Amino acid sequence: MNRTLIIAEAGVNHNGDIDLAKKLIDAAVDAGVDFVKFQTFKANKIVSPNAKKADYQIKNTGEEVESQWEMLKKLELSDTDHQELISYCQKKSINFFSTAFDVDGISYLSSLGFNLFKIPSGELTNFPYLKAIAQTKKPVILSTGMANLDEIRAAIAVLITNGTKKEQLTVLHCNTEYPTPMYDVNLKAMLTIKKAFNVSIGYSDHTLGIEVPIAAVAMGATVIEKHFTLDRNLKGPDHKASLEPKELKDMVDAIRNIEKAISGNGLKEPSLSEKKNIQIARKSIHLSKDLSMGSVITELDIIPLRPGDGISPMNWDKVIGKTVVRDIKKFDKIIWSDLL
């Protein structure tokens, strides 16, 4: 059975509070995810001091005057924070993961011994960033929010040219709106990506609820990424589009069930669990009235009834016209030895 890699995206939902970050790790552990992911950045390296916040960031933070730089500055994790969270994850037996947003961040995560790198959607067109990721020669997960196929093709080319092996690459379909409206999910695009580039595929979800990532797994996603928070009512850019702990656990449980459901051999045949019900659920030919020895069976003399451990009703026409060789009571099951 293929196991989906489930990444719980804590992102910046720690609000700059290391204790809140640890509570997010606890929730991820309880949910049974594979990785809990944060974000590694320095505001000075990723955004101009004059850059405005996105509409959803203004709405979710309640701060209209605050710049994007000011917002992100409060959400940075220091080296000490990283070390403390990594240690806490080790203690809790869960994989710590983070996304870098600049070349220095990639080098920093490399120094921590990261064996997997995640490219966020916003960096898909960042050539020096892509090149630095590729040069680590580690497996890569590439998110593709806001991108078209040509842009994805160009990003993949940069990665492969600079050291990433194609078999190490997983490309995630994604929509960069928080939350993503259902009519904009376009989940079939995930299959288009697979067909176009012959790569492993996955889905990074920003919808409300858990239905879409579950559907993505049923359609072949090998990686699922989903934002989560302790409380959607907290102020911050991503809380509103995040799952709360119980929802995260429900999503994981549902995905694990879907994995089992699609892991069969593809043959249409009775399963082990249902074989015992064949005779109980199906019918066989019985008499609808008493018949004495020597009677010739007509269609009015027989009826399909459970259980199905006698002559199948698919032999209906073969039974009609036969002669019974013994007295048979109404509702008795007919067997071939009763007929001549």
Instruction: Indicate the residue type of 294.
Output: G
What is the chain's mean pLDDT, rounded?
Answer: 96
Specify the pLDDT at position 340.
94
Instruction: Work out whether the CA dihedral 317, 318, 323, 325 comes out positive or negative.
Output: negative
Q: Where in the chain is the domain with CATH 3.90.1210.10?
A: 275-338
Q: Give tens-digit pLDDT for 129-162.
A: 999 999 999 999 999 999 999 999 999 999 999 9
pTM greater than 0.95 (yes/no): no
Q: Which residues have a Cβ under 8 Å from the Cβ of 309 and sit 6 or more positions away?
A: 279, 284, 333
Looking at the domain covering 275-338, what would its CATH class be?
A: alpha beta
Question: Cα dist. 219→114, 187, 196, 216 in Å?
Answer: 29, 9, 16, 5
Q: Measured between alpha carbons, how far is 281 from 305 in angstroms, rounded to an integer?
A: 10
Condensed to tens digits (0 to 9), the pLDDT of residues 64-77 reads 778 889 899 999 99
Two tokens at 329?
Answer: 């009571």
What is the radius of gyration, based on Cα positions, of the chain?
A: 30
CATH 3.20.20.70 holds for 5-261: yes
Close Cβ partners of 14 (under 8 Å, ≥ 6 residues apart)? 20, 21, 24, 38, 75, 77
| Residue 296 pLDDT | 98
Question: What is the DSSP annotation of 168-188?
Answer: GEEEEEE--SSSPPGGG--TH
Are 238 and 196 spatial neighbours (Cβ–Cβ below 8 Å)?
Answer: no
Domain with CATH 3.20.20.70 in the chain: 5-261
| pLDDT value at residue 226 | 98
Residues ≥6 apart with Cβ < 8 Å to 44: 69
Interior angle at CA 118, CA 169 and CA 24, nearest 5: 135
pLDDT digits (tens, 9 = 90+) for 155-211: 999 999 999 999 999 999 999 999 999 999 999 999 999 999 999 999 999 999 999
